[in-house]
């Protein structure tokens, strides 16, 4: 079942605190929210916030598409089976400065992905519910809230279709569950290669990265 979303930013994971979802059901239904706006203040940042939270801002299609990637927030996660993992919460922004409306189909893999790094890290990617906005930047995990989505098995939180009109931008979270986390900080980027969307996960100290195909962009033509 397709859901609609709100966008995320990138990476550094510290394991100083442990989140546990032991007494909660993973079958609770969740619907993703989307925020599309012409108001840049929704994601406006001071210089200090930009240095703290924004990892990269990349332009594509001759500057017509801008994708912003954040550093992460996260830590250790204890799942309902008592197994230990790492997790990261990111947010992205995508701005459309083209003359055409674009459609983004994001499809994260349903199965766990091996990074093939020295630590043999395995990741699961999710599109959690919620809207990342400026008042949430200082909050725990960028204000994403309950981490129960990290154990979602329905597949509903891995797929989304987003329409962005000219001059608009859209925002959403990305959540990652790490099994056998690698060493050192991790960085992520949502990238656009021609019309193909990829999600790059990199371990800086291990000099290792994994490019994960995750969807495509298309132009919408109106009669």
Q: Establish if 78 belongs to a structural domain.
A: yes
Answer whether residue 14 shows pLDDT above 70: no
State the total domains in the chain.
1
Asked if 128 and 31 touch (Cβ cutoff 8 Å), the reply is: no
Q: Establish if 13 belongs to a structural domain.
A: no
Lowest mean pLDDT among 21-25, 149-153, 185-189, 218-222: 21-25
Answer whether residue 183 shows pLDDT above 90: no
Q: Establish if 11 belongs to a structural domain.
A: no
Q: What's the whole-number mean pLDDT along residues 86-97?
A: 95
Give the structural domain span for 74.
18-220
Write down the pLDDT at residue 25.
34
Strand partners, 74: 88
Q: Establish if 6 belongs to a structural domain.
A: no
Answer whether residue 47 shows pLDDT above 90: no
Q: Establish if 150 belongs to a structural domain.
A: yes
Q: Establish if 53 belongs to a structural domain.
A: yes
Write down the pLDDT at residue 137.
86
Please state, for a pLDDT cut of 70, what percent of the chain lies above it: 78
Q: What's the whole-number mean pLDDT along residues 40-56?
A: 75
Q: What is the pLDDT of residues 194-213, one digit of tens each?
A: 999 999 999 988 888 999 99
Q: What's the whole-number mean pLDDT along residues 110-136?
A: 90
Q: Kindly give, in sequence order, each residue whose CB lies less than 8 Å from that of residue 174, ignoring residues fewer than 6 positions away.
A: 7, 8, 89, 90, 91, 92, 125, 126, 127, 128, 188, 190, 199
Q: Establish if 1 belongs to a structural domain.
A: no
Q: Burial of 135 by CB count in 10 Å (0-12 exposed, 13-18 middle, 19+ buried)?
A: exposed
3-class SS of residue 206: coil
Residue 186: which pLDDT band, with cuts at 50, 70 and 90?
very high
Write down the pLDDT at residue 132.
87
Write down the pLDDT at residue 206.
83
Answer whether residue 23 shows pLDDT above 50: no
Say how far residue 171 (Cα) sits from the centre of its chain.
10
């Amino acid at each position: 079942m397709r859901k609609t979303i709100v966008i995320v930013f990138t990476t550094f994971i510290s394991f100083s605190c442990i989140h546990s979802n032991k007494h909660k059901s993973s079958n609770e239904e969740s619907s993703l929210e989307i925020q599309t706006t012409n108001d840049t203040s929704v994601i406006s940042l001071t210089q200090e916030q930009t240095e703290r939270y924004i990892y990269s801002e990349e332009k594509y299609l001759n500057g017509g598409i801008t994708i912003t990637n954040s550093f992460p927030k996260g830590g250790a996660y204890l799942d309902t089976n008592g197994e230990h993992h790492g997790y990261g919460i990111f947010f992205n922004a995508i701005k459309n400065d083209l003359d055409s409306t674009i459609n983004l189909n994001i499809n994260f893999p349903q199965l766990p992905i091996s990074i093939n790094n020295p630590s043999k890290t395995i990741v699961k990617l999710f599109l959690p519910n919620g809207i990342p906005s400026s008042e949430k930047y200082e909050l725990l995990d960028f204000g994403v809230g309950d981490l129960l989505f990290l154990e979602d098995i329905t597949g509903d939180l891995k797929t989304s279709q987003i329409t962005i009109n000219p001059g608009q931008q859209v925002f959403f979270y990305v959540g990652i569950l790490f099994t056998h986390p690698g060493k050192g900080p991790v960085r992520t980027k949502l990238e656009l290669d021609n019309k193909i969307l990829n999600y790059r996960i990199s371990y800086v100290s291990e000099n290792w990265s994994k490019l994960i195909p995750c969807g495509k962009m298309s132009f919408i033509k109106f009669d």
